């Protein structure tokens, strides 16, 4: 499995290169954001380890550029510990966030987890509800045959609900899964993104039948068909 390391700290890159190679990874490296984008386009890595503070182009811009054409898992490895930095990176399209200094065993475990996810997406199911088709492998959403654009955060929320169809997913679980931080506790984030999803996916966003709120607890995604004649106002 090929890993791209994008970091301007040569000692860290050297240490990671040695460690990852010892665990069977093929490692390529870039010392700045612009080089990272060019190398990714050339080498098509399976996983990306990315610092936020790099010369020429910052980590957020790199994430946004990569997400324009690849869904390879991205792990941000940064010394920035604030929840705002984590939220910004995850919203931009990163899959995980590790703060420096880190334990190499933890980083390797995260790489393995994301590597398994990347390697098994071909068998992920297609989820249907109403006139919406959610292809978890292609990370694609259509409604009545037309493609629906979702932001990275909207996708992560919908994907998590779709992988737990019909089940109550608590607000705290969603906050932790989507923003990967115990420090993000404002459920107003969730209400905002659920509202946006309903506008894009529900026949009547004001009276949803699939993306349901369980008052005081969390959210559920209810699958199945919807008869437009029953829900139209």
pLDDT digits (tens, 9 = 90+) for 80-125: 888 898 999 999 999 999 998 888 888 999 898 888 766 544 345 7
57 and 102 co-located in one domain: yes
Tell me the CATH number at 69: 3.40.50.2300
Cβ neighbourhood burial of 216 (10 Å; 0-12, 13-18, 19+): exposed
CB 117 within 8 A of CB 98: no
CB 20 within 8 A of CB 45: no
Of the candidates 5, 51, 56, 13, the one whose C-alpha atom is nearest the C-alpha of residue 34 is: 56
23 and 68 co-located in one domain: yes
β-bridge pairing 132-135 and 126-129: antiparallel
105 and 134 co-located in one domain: no
186 and 203 co-located in one domain: yes
pLDDT digits (tens, 9 = 90+) for 20-65: 988 888 999 999 999 999 999 889 898 999 999 998 889 999 999 9
Domain closes at, from 121, 154, 179: 121
Mean pLDDT of the chain: 85
* pTM across the whole model: 0.54
Which structural domain range is residue 80 located in?
2-121
Q: How many domains does the chain have?
A: 2
Distance CA(88)–CA(162), nearest Å, equals 24
Domain closes at, from 55, 86, 121: 121
116 and 139 co-located in one domain: no
Distance CA(24)–CA(98), nearest Å, equals 21
CB 173 within 8 A of CB 179: no
Distance CA(158)–CA(205), nearest Å, equals 15
């Amino acid at each position: 499995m090929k890993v791209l390391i994008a970091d301007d700290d040569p000692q860290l890159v050297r240490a990671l290169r040695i460690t990852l190679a010892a665990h069977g990874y093929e490692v390529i490296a870039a010392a700045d954001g612009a080089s990272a984008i060019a190398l990714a386009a050339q080498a098509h890595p399976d996983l990306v380890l990315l610092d936020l503070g790099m010369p020429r182009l910052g980590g957020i811009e790199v994430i946004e550029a990569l997400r324009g054409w690849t869904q390879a898992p991205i792990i941000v490895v940064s010394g920035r510990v604030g929840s705002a930095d984590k939220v910004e990176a995850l919203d931009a399209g990163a899959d995980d966030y590790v703060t420096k200094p880190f334990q190499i065993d933890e980083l390797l475990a995260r790489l393995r987890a994301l590597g398994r996810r990347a390697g098994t997406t071909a068998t992920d199911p297609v989820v249907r509800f109403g006139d919406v088709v959610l292809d978890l492998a292609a990370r694609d959403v259509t409604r009545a045959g037309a493609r629906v654009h979702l932001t990275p955060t909207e996708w992560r929320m919908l994907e998590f609900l779709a992988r737990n169809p019909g089940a109550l997913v608590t607000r705290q679980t969603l906050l932790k899964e989507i923003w990967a931080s115990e420090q993000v506790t404002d459920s107003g984030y969730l209400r905002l993104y659920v509202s946006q999803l309903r506008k894009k996916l529900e026949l009547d966003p004001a009276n949803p039948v699939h993306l349901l709120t369980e008052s005081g607890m969390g959210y559920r995604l209810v699958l199945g068909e919807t008869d437009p004649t029953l829900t139209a106002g």
